[in-house]
Amino acid sequence: MLAMTDTPTLDQPYDPALVEPRWYAFWEKHGVFAATDAPGDTRPVYVVPMPPPNVTGSLHMGHAQRCTLEDALVRWHRMRGFNTLWQPGTDHAGIATQLVVERALAREGKSRHDIGREAFVSRVWQWRLETGDRILLQQRILGASPDWSRSKFTMDPDLSRAVTEAFVRLYEQGLMYRATRLINWCPECMTSLSDLEVENEEGANGELFEFAYEVEGGGEVVVATTRPETMLGDTAVAVHPDDPRYQAIHGKRVKHPFVDRTFPIVTDAILVDPKFGTGAVKVTPAHDFNDFATGKRHGLEEINILALDGTLNGNAGPFAGMDRKEARRAVKKALAEKGLARGAKPHTLTLPRCQRSGGVVEPMISTQWFLKMQTMADKALDAVHSGKTAIVPEEWVKTYDHFLENIQDWCVSRQLWWGHQIPAWHGPDGQIVVAREKPKELGPEWKQDADVLDTWFSSALWPFSTQGWPDETAALKKFYPASDLETGYDILFFWVARMMMFGLHFMGEVPFRRVLLSGLIVDETGDKMSKVKGNVIDPLDLVRGTSFAEMAKKTLPGAPEAEAMAKFKKAYPSAAAMGSGFPAFGADAVRFTLATYPPTNKRIALAPRRIEGNRHFLNKIWNATRLALDLLGDYAWKESGAPKGFYNRWIRSRFAATCEAAHAGLDAFRVDEAALASYRFFWNDLCDWYLELVKPILRKGTDGTFAHPDLVPETRETLAYVLEGSMRLMHPLMPFLTEELWQRVPRPPSRKATVAFGPYPTPESEHDARNAEVDAQMATLQAIISAARTVRSEHDIDKKAEVPLHVRCDEPALVAFLRGHHDAIRQLVKTTGEPVFEARGGEREAGATVSIVPGPSGPIEVLVGLKGLVTRSDELSRIDRELKKIDRDLGALEKKLGSPGFVDRAPPEVVEEARTQRATLVDGKARLAESRKLAEEL
RNA sequence: AGGCGCGUAGCUCAGUGGUAGAGCACUACCUUGACACGGUAGGGGUCGGAGGUUCGAAACCUCUCGCGCCUACCA
């Protein structure tokens, strides 16, 4: 079926570099990741999107983490028989890339206007292809293969159609409008921004500068400002109506010192806090949001003093042409020269910065397209409150509410070229026509609006635009609404809330039933990843391995190497201690590790050591499979009934419990619980105990025969069963390794091609294997073996030396059970001859140690004969340690049983259990005390 | 200023009322026929602090300290 070269052999250690590319290529070739869309299939559908890629540093790991969970969920859903659709989302990488391209152009002394729209967009794509965009990384980690070739060098035509349709409909419904308002403007990107795209930098050092305006008719009024240069746009001074200091000047006018105009002193109780500064506020309606609102209340003039690139314009009089910083110094100096400066105080303030360029954002009066949000927001709120869509974890509901309850109209136009151009045409006399395409009757003098739409506008259409909307396609009918959406909490507002609003508006139904919000990855010290901090880790470096020097160079390009390394080591102390770089952990190890963090964890401090540990787990699986295949020999898959042998029944019971735990975890979006359950089962149950126990059964002795020929067939069946089942169980968490191994293990002939097509093991299919009694018996057996091993270890007994063993307990059934497992005990403890099982109370061999194991109904004594091997001090300290533990447990129990009210008020079964435990401990303690006496005589 | 969250072993993290857990790190022994990316055994925590509810609190309540994120404001 498969023809692959370079097949790795199990004799070599697991090497992800050999295994992962093989299966990545295979899945891609066979379209395992493509959407399944069988006609006529009406089963529920899960849609899990690929997240928007992002080339800026801080979000890399967050996206990688989301990929991992998404992939796990997608695969799991498919394995359960659901159809799963998977498509790349709206392309956000370009929006960040275009800034890079603009800067590159600037270095050539050009602007985008010099090369034209088409060439510009094409260069953005070029840059992305050449530099290896995030989207490529996601394909690698996810194994996804979206067909994005058709969108090369242009915007996706289908998406453009949906975007245009949505815009036109919103316009026709009166929700989309054009208005001249104060908006956030990034002078570096030369575009407007939405509120969400502005980041606030706290703690910036500034000063509160005070200066005086001369009042007409005599006197002055002193105002305070952090931005003296904006006084060039002042059109009022506001004071609080009740402030006694300023009663006399209400209604008077002040004179502008630099420009030839006067403006009024107004009273305003909303804007002015009499306790702050001087109690008098300069009002600049064109460059401050509060002042803008104040201006509207008082009918003030709006004087724009800034050009689009942030320099001062003609309205700034003598200061025109200066940039913002220069103007500030000049204005202060000029005020001082006129004798109007009144001093300055230090003041910390928050600077609004552009999310993409980092430039300081300016409030600017500008004509833009806005979308009315109120009605849509109310519907989206209602959809969550009524339970039509559930947000997981629930704590995010409050955040969602807060955003939608306080939502402002959305400024959707951007003065950029990367994006969907607005379908509006401007006539020569300022007329505007909005249409799906340019109406024929409009002449060439009608130009299309040069602006594009915010990328999140098209993203908000994602749940239905990807299904062929506005056409009523079969896919749309089938895949809308989707079941689950998984994404990082950082785009709850940007994306999730807007998909909810648009979904309800255009489709009349919620876009998805559940939304899982997962955490974001931060560095080892808990800081968000950012290029400035030099703490960005590219997940691909973890997958492929790299030197820290290389990583530092990438994360802080152009910085001196020593500085970059120092920053990196500070952010990742434990990683730095690992040596000079990361080994290639492989995609499976990275994925599995990320899956072990619960989604309730908002911050995930990336610990490469943890990845390393899981990398070892993968190797363990590899080697265990090698052993299992060796033990299975030429075994061919056989449909088997329920096993009769004890170990076989036990491992099937454990496997069933694991499937149950894994399902419970996945159902509740707790992938970490599924991962942990699988880990424990495979390592602690299967490897540590089951494989050790079946070795003597499945291996021929020196005489060439099996010790228990009757057990061989069902033991092989069981081993093969849990091995193959484990691969299917763990496949979503580590697709590459499990695929490689699954191809080699015995499996039902009906299963073809790839483990991804196999059914996912379910609690139902394993239910009959659950057996609490077997679990309990095995626990006792394990405790006895461990106790004997502890004695060996504590006394430094040679690995090969055999010791006599007696196990004593008062329960005949238990004695019989243990006797039935003398082989295993003998082998795992390494006993001299057969271990002896008997009732308690008999004489004790000289030189024997006693350990107490709590049994189901009383203490079990484990006696290890150490004649001549034991030293007095070793044995005393071992017994003392055991006594200490018993005393500690006993103390807790006595306290509990002795405290007033416990016996009366606690549930009877809790009291009963405590009493039983106490009896067992008291009994055991007496026996230990006795052996301590004997040990003293050694 | 408000909202949300976090604080548990040296590190990264589980644990929503019944005797504190995992991985890594650490100690000792073991290169045993799957695996040293391993095995067996061991050490290590007054669960940030104080008070309260309860027979019983890491968990629930109140206050408090430290940290993070988000939103708003900042003349």
pLDDT digits (tens, 9 = 90+) for A26-65: 765 665 543 333 334 444 444 443 332 222 222 223 333 3
The answer to which of A35-39, A244-248, A774-778 has the lowest mean pLDDT is: A35-39
Which residues, at least 6 apart from A134, have a Cβ–Cβ distance to it below 8 Å? Answer: A53, A54, A55, A60, A63, A93
Residue A442: per-residue pLDDT: 94
Question: pLDDT for A298-329, tens place per residue?
Answer: 999 999 999 988 899 999 888 999 998 899 99
Bases in strand B with any atom closer than 7 Å to a protein CB: 3-6, 11-15, 18-20, 23-25, 28-32, 34-35, 37-43, 54-56, 67-75
Nearest nucleic acid nucleotide to A209, CA to C1' distance: B75
Element (DSSP H or E) covering residue A398:
helix A396-405
What's the Rg (C-alpha) of chain A? 37
The DSSP output letter for A358 is -
Q: How far is the CA of A905 from the C1' of B55 (A)?
A: 6
- pLDDT digit string (tens) for A845-904? 777 888 888 887 788 999 998 777 777 777 787 788 888 888 888 888 888 888 878 888
Helix (H, G, I), strand (E, B) or coil at A737: helix
Identify the band that residue A25 occupies on the pLDDT scale cut at 50, 70 and 90. confident
* DSSP per residue, A428-497: TTS-EEE-SS--TTS-TT-EE---EE-HHHHHHTHHHHTTTTTS--HHHHHHSSEEEEEEEGGGIIIIII
Between the alpha carbon of residue A384 and those of residues A344, A391, A481, A509, A732, the distances in Å are 50, 8, 15, 12, 30
Q: Give me the residue label for tokens 């349709």.
A: A165
Q: Give the residue ranges of DSSP H helices in A795-936.
A: 812-819, 822-829, 872-898, 902-905, 908-936
* Stretch (H or E) spanning A202: strand A198-215
Q: What is the pLDDT of residues A200-224, one digit of tens each?
A: 777 677 788 999 999 998 889 999 9
Q: How far apart are CA A252 and CA A271, in angstroms?
A: 19
Provide the CA A888 to C1' B58 distance, Å, integer.
Answer: 19
Work out the pLDDT band at A89, boundaries 50, 70, 90. Answer: very low
Whole-number pLDDT of residue A590: 84
Q: How far apart are CA A238 and CA A251, in angstroms?
A: 10
Q: How much of chain A, in percent, has pLDDT values that exceed 70? A: 86
pLDDT in the model for residue A340:
93
Stated in angstroms, how far is A783 CA from B42 C1'?
A: 16
A811 alpha carbon, distance to own chain's centre: 52
Nucleotide nearest to A918 (CA to C1'): B19
Print burial letters for A804-829: b (CB count within 10 Å at least 16), e (below 16).
bbbbbbbbeebbeebeebbebbbebb
The rounded distance, in Å, linking the Cα atoms of A856 and A858 is: 6
The answer to whether the complex's ipTM is over 0.85 is yes
> What single-letter amino acid sits at A529?
M
* Whole-number distance in Å between A61 CA and B68 C1': 18
- The rounded distance, in Å, linking the Cα atoms of A254 and A204 is 32
The answer to whether A736 and A750 have CB atoms below 8 angstroms apart is: no
What b-and-e string marks burial along A246-269, b requiring 16 or more CB atoms within 10 Å of the CB?
A: beebeebbbebbebeeebbbbbbe
Residue A137 above 50 pLDDT? no
Protein residue nearest nucleotide B11, by CA to C1' = A574
Residue A542 pLDDT greater than 70, yes or no: yes
Average pLDDT, chain A: 82
CA of A850 and C1' of B61: distance in angstroms? 48
pLDDT category at A141 given cuts 50, 70, 90 is very low
Q: Per-residue pLDDT tens for A59-84?
A: 223 333 344 455 555 555 555 555 44
* pLDDT, tens digit (0-9, with 9 covering 90-100), for A456-505: 898 888 888 877 789 998 778 877 887 777 777 878 888 899 999 999 99
